[in-house]
Structures are given as C-alpha cells and as structure tokens.
C-alpha cells in the first residue's frame, strides 16, 4: 500500500471531506467526496454520518471549498451504512436533490432494512446459528444505538443506480461498478481515464472490509446473500483493474491494491484454517465457531464476528470443504466427507 498525494484532487473537481464517525468499527472518519458537475453545482459521493458533528463537518468542508448545499445536484450513496448516507435526507430536503443508490441497498437507506430491523425480523435465524437469546438481546440493544446516526431517506427521493451506468462530472466520466460483498448493493465509481477508483468500503487500506452477514435479500439457502463469496468475486474484479489511485470511504488515498487484496485473501485463509481445524474434532454451530476463530469473544463485536465466521463458512462450503446439517433446530457444520 503506497500513499498517493491528494493535492491533485481539487484540480479535477474532487473535494474530499472527512466527517467524524462515533463508532470504532468504521476505521476512522468517513469520507464524503464532493464532485463538481457539468453545468455548475456538485454531486456528493457519500455524505457522512448523520450526527450533529457529522453534518457540521460536512457543511464546514463544503463551505471551505466554496460549495453551497443549495447547489447540490445529487447524492450518490456507495452503500447503505449510516456513515455513508447519514446526511442524505437532510441534504435532499435542503437542496431538493435526488438520492441515488443500488436497489439492493435501497431498503437500508429508507429505514426498513436497517440492521436492527433485520435482527428483529430474523431472530429465529440467529437462534438457528446457535446464538444465545441473551447475546441476541445485547446485540439488538447495540444495533439500536445507531438509530440517531441517519434519518431515513424519503422513498420518493430515491433513484436507483445499476452497475454499468455512466455518470458525468465536470472533469471526468465515471462508471458505476456494482461490487457486492461488504453489503449487497455496494457500488464504486471508476474513472477509467485517470485509473482512479472511488472505493468506499470495498477496498480499505487499514481495516478489513467486513463482508457483513446480511439477510435483506432472504434467509433461505437459495436466497441468502453470501457476503464473503460475493466479496471474493468483487475483489477479484478490482484486483484485475489497473489503478493509480483509490479513494477510500475511510482514510487517505492510496495505490497498491493488488498486494493489499492478496494480503486480505491470506487473512481469510487463516480464518478458514481455524474453522476447519475446529471442525476436525466435532461438528459445531456458527456461534460455536466464533470462539474458535476469535481468541477473545466480545459481545459488542458479536455481529462482526458472526459475519466473519458465516462468510468464511460459506466460502468453505462453496469449495466443498464443509457441509451443513440440521440438529435439534440448529444449523450445524462439519468437515465434508471426502469421496474416495
Ligand atoms: Zn464505512
Ligand atoms: Zn460500510
């Protein structure tokens, strides 16, 4: 990973505005990118967390670059996490602009698909994974704390984006890339001419992008979104791209994405080895695997831990290395029987 000097950004109509995030897991302040538009005004690619501090930082950042909210033409949401779309509704009310998002993350930003709602709706699913009821209650309390971090966006203001869409800005054209993994509807913007990628949370320099357990597309084996399986595919697509600059959702501009992603694949490999080692002795639930993968189990991080385990379990399943079965209302996993 090599730092890229960001001094060239304003010259091509890109204004990076870091905004504070009140939770650790994000990996630091969330970047909003104001992009100058053809014919005046600007768009935002992400708009920070919807706390008072987040909104104030965004306003200050815009003002210091001579940009006014009334000249905001559109908000493009990279994915439906509060630190990326949190101010969308407030900005849309003020400017009258539309909010663009991929259909798979639409329900998150209009409020129905927020994580705490998914958890309430999918309580039975988590019990099947072996998560104790008390742990689930603690997870729900934690999830509800994120409620003030974003106002739901009015459905009527939302327009959908699709992979392959072309977006025009003052100094460049960008292509929308649908790269599911971190969330089902995550998009990045690719500026091919400049070998530049607005990478949001798909490729981050300092933290793993956490392909999160997500039941918004369904809970059954054939409908459930397989976060890490999808992430591998999306990350390989980016790995094959020639890029000179990645502008992430958190942190500074960088390049060297190929080595970074290779390191990440190795990191997942280690977790997969731990899972297979644990299943070598006897079958386990997803919840039981959490303590095999993570030396210190922390309820505050349980959702991330379950996500990591479930993601890696699904990858191993796809490779035919483990298999699932039902026992006493629980989903259990075991090492696949080798065919001779
Ligand atoms: Zn983020
Ligand atoms: Zn995110």
Which residues on adjacent β-strands are paired with residue 336? none
| 21 CA → ligand 1 middle, Å | 9
| 201 CA → ligand 2 middle, Å | 5
Tell whether the model's pLDDT for residue 265 goes beyond 60. Answer: yes
CA–CA distances in Å: residue 313 to residues 232, 275, 324, 335 = 13, 8, 9, 11
pLDDT in tens, 248-259: 999 999 999 999
Tokens of 238: 């980016």
| 11 CA → ligand 2 middle, Å | 28
| Residue 25 resides in a domain | yes
| 164 CA → ligand 2 middle, Å | 21
| 64 CA → ligand 2 middle, Å | 26
pLDDT in tens, 119-141: 999 999 999 999 999 999 999 99
| 201 CA → ligand 1 middle, Å | 5
166 and 219, same structural domain? Answer: yes
Q: Which domain holds residue 40?
A: 2-109+146-262
| Residue 124 resides in a domain | no
Residue % of the chain over a pLDDT of 70: 99
pLDDT for 340: 53
pLDDT for 262: 96
97 and 218, same structural domain? Answer: yes
284 and 207, same structural domain? Answer: no
Residue 295: pLDDT band with limits 50, 70, 90: confident
Average pLDDT, the chain: 95
pLDDT in tens, 139-183: 999 999 888 999 999 999 999 999 999 999 999 999 999 999 999
Tell whether the model's pLDDT for residue 54 goes beyond 80. Answer: yes
197 and 55, same structural domain? Answer: yes
pLDDT for 98: 97
pLDDT in tens, 182-195: 999 999 999 999 99
| 135 CA → ligand 1 middle, Å | 25
pLDDT in tens, 195-227: 999 999 999 998 888 899 999 999 998 999 999
| 120 CA → ligand 2 middle, Å | 20
| Residue 18 resides in a domain | yes
| Residue 268 resides in a domain | no
| 250 CA → ligand 1 middle, Å | 6
Residue 187 near residue 79, CB atoms below 8 Å: yes
| 331 CA → ligand 1 middle, Å | 30
Closest C-alpha among 336, 313, 273 to residue 130: 313
Tokens of 87: 């101010």
Exposed, middle or buried, 298 (CB in 10 Å: 0-12/13-18/19+)?
A: exposed
Tell whether the model's pLDDT for residue 81 goes beyond 60. Answer: yes
Tell whether the model's pLDDT for residue 24 goes beyond 80. Answer: no
| 85 CA → ligand 1 middle, Å | 10
291 and 192, same structural domain? Answer: no
| Residue 44 resides in a domain | yes
Mean predicted confidence (pLDDT) in 44-53: 97
173 and 90, same structural domain? Answer: yes
92 and 14, same structural domain? Answer: yes
> Which ligand lies nearest to the CA atom of residue 204 in the structure?
1
pLDDT for 26: 75
| Residue 138 resides in a domain | no
pLDDT for 207: 82
163 and 288, same structural domain? Answer: no
| 133 CA → ligand 2 middle, Å | 26
Mean predicted confidence (pLDDT) in 63-92: 97
User: Residue 330 is part of a domain; what is its CATH number?
Assistant: 1.10.10.10
| 227 CA → ligand 1 middle, Å | 16
| Residue 77 resides in a domain | yes
In angstroms, rounded to a whole number, what is the distance separating the alpha carbons of residues 276 and 270?
10
| Residue 166 resides in a domain | yes
Q: What is the pTM of this model?
A: 0.96
User: Residue 6 is part of a domain; what is its CATH number?
Assistant: 3.60.15.10
pLDDT for 339: 57
pLDDT for 23: 83
288 and 186, same structural domain? Answer: no
In angstroms, rounded to a whole number, what is the distance separating the alpha carbons of residues 55 and 30?
12
307 and 236, same structural domain? Answer: no
47 and 8, same structural domain? Answer: yes
Residue 88 near residue 51, CB atoms below 8 Å: no
Residue 298: pLDDT band with limits 50, 70, 90: confident
Out of 207, 237, 262, pick the residue that ends a domain.
262
Mean predicted confidence (pLDDT) in 107-120: 90
> Which ligand lies nearest to the CA atom of residue 48 in the structure?
1
Residue 102 near residue 186, CB atoms below 8 Å: yes
């Amino acid at each position: 990973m090599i730092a890229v000097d960001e001094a060239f950004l304003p010259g091509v109509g890109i204004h990076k505005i870091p905004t504070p995030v009140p939770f650790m897991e994000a990996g630091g302040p969330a970047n909003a990118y104001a992009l100058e538009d053809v014919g005046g005004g600007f768009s935002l690619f992400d708009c920070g967390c919807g706390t008072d501090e987040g909104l104030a930082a965004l306003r200050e950042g815009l003002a210091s670059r001579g940009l006014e909210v009334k000249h905001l033409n559109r908000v493009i949401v990279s994915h439906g996490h509060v630190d990326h779309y949190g101010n969308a509704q407030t900005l849309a009310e003020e400017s009258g602009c539309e909010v663009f998002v991929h259909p798979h993350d639409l329900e998150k930003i209009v409020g129905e698909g927020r994580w705490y709602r998914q958890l309430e709706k999918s309580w039975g699913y988590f019990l099947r994974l072996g998560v104790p009821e008390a742990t689930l209650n603690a997870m729900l309390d934690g999830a509800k704390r994120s409620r003030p971090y974003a106002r739901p966006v009015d459905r009527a203001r939302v327009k959908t984006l699709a992979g392959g869409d072309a977006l025009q800005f003052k100094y460049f054209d960008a292509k929308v890339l649908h790269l599911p993994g971190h969330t089902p509807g995550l998009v990045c913007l690719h500026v091919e001419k400049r070998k530049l990628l607005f990478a949001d949370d798909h490729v981050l320099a300092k933290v793993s992008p956490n392909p999160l357990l997500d039941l918004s597309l369904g809970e059954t084996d054939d409908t459930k979104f397989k976060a890490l399986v999808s992430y591998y595919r999306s990350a390989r697509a980016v790995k094959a791209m020639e890029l000179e600059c990645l502008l992430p959702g958190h942190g500074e501009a960088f390049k060297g994405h190929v080595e970074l992603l290779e390191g990440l694949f190795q990191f997942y490999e280690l977790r997969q080895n731990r899972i297979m080692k644990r299943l070598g002795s006897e079958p386990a639930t997803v919840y039981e695997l959490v303590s095999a993968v993570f030396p210190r189990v922390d309820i505050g991080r349980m959702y991330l831990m379950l996500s990591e385990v479930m993601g890696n379990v699904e990858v191993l399943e796809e490779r035919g290395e483990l298999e699932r079965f039902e026992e006493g209302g629980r989903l259990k996993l075991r090492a696949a029987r080798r065919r001779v």
